[in-house]
Amino acid sequence: MIVRLRQPKREVTIDGPCSVNQLLDQLSMNRESFLVIRNGTLVPGDGRLDDSDQIEIRPVISGG
Amino acid sequence: MVASVSKCRVCREPAIIDLPRHNANFCAEHLLQLCRRQVEKAIADHDMLSLDDRILVAVSGGKDSLAIWDILLELGYRAEGLYIGLGIGDYSDESGGYAQRFADERGLTLRTIDLRGEYGYDVPTAAKVTKRVPCSACGMSKRHLFDEAARAGGYDVVVTGHNLDDEAAVLFGNALRWDVEYLARQLPVLPARDGFPKKVKPLVRLTEREMAAWCIVRGIDYQVEECPMAVGNKHLGYKEALNSIERQSPGSKSAFYLNFIERMAPILASHSRAAAGELVACSSCGAPTTEPDSGDAPVCGFCRLRGRVAGHDPVPVELVLHGGARTAYRAARLAAGSAASPGATADGRTAQ
């Protein structure tokens, strides 16, 4: 699946299927600091992600 | 693998988010309900707002300020917004766009101030001239201009979008230094005083993750990218440290901050009162400020800053960034100019 990342904007390719938590663990991302959006909708930690899904991992921390 | 086994704690419909600190999952409807109730509780517990108040929301174009504006309107409050263009390159232009579109789509009043156009400087230039971190000039400018706008506009209270993560990170930093004066003043409400408007933080019971989720569920488009001047600052480091603890021990952040407010802040109250000296009017702008020991005419921090930096040619953002922040800024600019190729690694490098 193609996963869109932010800060900076970029994309990575990850083999699916996997859960949201597995995806974040694979990318060494803290679940507390990110949300995962599948096809425009939020997905909880045990939500399944497939190769055909459009995925965005959105950081939630801001430093301003 | 099942698509999702999580069920909403309230209605048992499929969940969209897991919130470990509540040991629960929520659907969209009940996530919004949770957020509204937490804001209502913060407002009630700390006597922040009344429905008669004229409220000025400090709007940045980020998730927190747009979310609190949205929530306050949902709860029936009369709230208008103020956006300050800080002159931080494309970042400020984009942030202002998000704030304006939010207001326009809802028919809301958004006031705007352009720091360079109206006061003759911007944040990167101020940082370069004063040789101080950009967040120093930024914070001082915003505080002064929000106060001034509230006084001039007859607003009863200024609302900021500081959330639980913001407050816990500031508390963490102040505790690391045992800065008792700052600790004593770190409250969710600053009462009106000597010309300063009342300021309140209704999001102190909600995390950044919950605020981002609010915006996504509500369809609020906001500035997701980080301020380039803030990349690598201490505040972000404290947040990351606290989130590492939160991951291991859910609920730690809220216990750290909310128990401080309940148990420690009353003990420190006398230190806050001792630190609050008498204020006089700035001889330049009339804003309240401390009286100088020298006997000179009082000049507030904002006017001193403006006096030093106004009139200098604008300094590009990149010239006041160093190390990792400059690298991140260049990477962001590159990414904005061209779509990254599939197969790039998580840190943006292209896999061979």
d(CA B77, CA B100): 20
Superfamily of domain A2-59: Beta-grasp domain (3.10.20.30)
Q: In what order do the strands lie in the sheet with B78-85?
A: B110-114, B78-85, B54-59, B157-159, B198-200, B189-190
CB pair distance less than 8 Å for B340 and A45: no
Q: Residue A63, SS3? A: coil
Is the Cβ pair A7, B344 closer than 8 Å?
Answer: no
Mean pLDDT, residues B294-321 taken together:
93
Judging contacts by C-beta atoms under 8 Å, the chain B residues touching residue A2 are 342
Q: Does A14 touch chain B (CB under 8 A)?
A: no
Stronger pLDDT, B84 or B326, i.e. the higher one: B84
Is any Cβ of chain B less than 8 angstroms from the Cβ of A25? no
- DSSP class of B230: T
Is pLDDT at B344 greater than 90 in this prediction?
no
User: Token pair for residue B136?
Assistant: 């120093």
Task: Collapse the DSSP code of B24 into the 3-class scheme (helix H, G, I; strand E, B; otherwise coil) and give the result.
Answer: strand
Q: Please report, for chain A, the start and end positions of each structural domain, with discontinuous segments joined by +.
A: 2-59
Whether residue B191 is predicted with pLDDT greater than 90 in this model: the reply is yes
| Mean of all residue pLDDT scores within chain B | 91
Geometric angle at alpha carbon B100, from B96 and B101, rounded to 5°? 120
% of chain A surpassing 90 pLDDT: 86
**Mean local confidence (pLDDT), B168-192:** 95
Question: Do the Cβ atoms of B289 and B300 come closer than 8 Å?
Answer: yes
Cβ proximity of B39 and B75 under 8 Å: yes
Tell if the CB–CB gap between B348 and A44 is shorter than 8 Å. no
Which position has the token pair 């190769």? Answer: A51
Under 8 Å CB-to-CB from B259, ≥6 apart: which residues? Answer: none
A interface mutation test: which of B243, B256, B327 has the most A CBs within 10 A? B243
Domains of chain B plus CATH, in order, are: 35-334 (3.40.50.620)
- Give the pLDDT band (50/70/90) at residue B293: confident
Q: Cα A62 vs. chain centroid, distance in angstroms? A: 18
Lowest-confidence segment of B85-94, B138-147, B338-347 by average pLDDT: B338-347
Measure CB to CB from residue B224 to each of A10, A17, A58 and give the nearest one.
Answer: A58
Yes or no, beta carbons of A64 and B62 under 8 Å apart: yes
Mean of pLDDT values over B200-218: 98
Closest residue on chain B to A44 (Cα): B17
Distance CA B115, CA B120 (A): 7
> Which positions in chain A touch B246 (Cβ < 8 Å)?
32
As a whole number of angstroms, the distance between CA B152 and CA A56 comes to: 43
Q: pLDDT above 70 covers what percent of chain B?
A: 93
* DSSP one-letter string for A48-61: EE-TT-EEEEEE--
* B345 has pLDDT over 70: no
How many residues can be counted in chain B? 352
Tokens of B319: 């010239």
Give the pLDDT of residue B329: 83
pLDDT at B94: 95
- Judge contact between B229 and B123, C-beta under 8 A: yes
Q: Contact A5/B345, CB-based, under 8 Å?
A: no
The pLDDT of residue B330 is 83
Mutate to test the interface with A, among B141, B226, B242, B254 (most CBs of A within 10 A): B226
State the average pLDDT over residues B22-35.
98
Mutate: best of A9, A11, A20, A32, partner B, most B CBs <10 A: A32
Q: What pLDDT is recorded for position A7?
A: 83
Q: Which residue has the higher pLDDT, B122 or B194?
A: B122
pLDDT level of residue B230 (50, 70, 90 thresholds): confident
Give the model's pLDDT for residue B276: 63
Q: How do residues B305-315 score in pLDDT, each as one tens digit?
A: 999 999 999 99
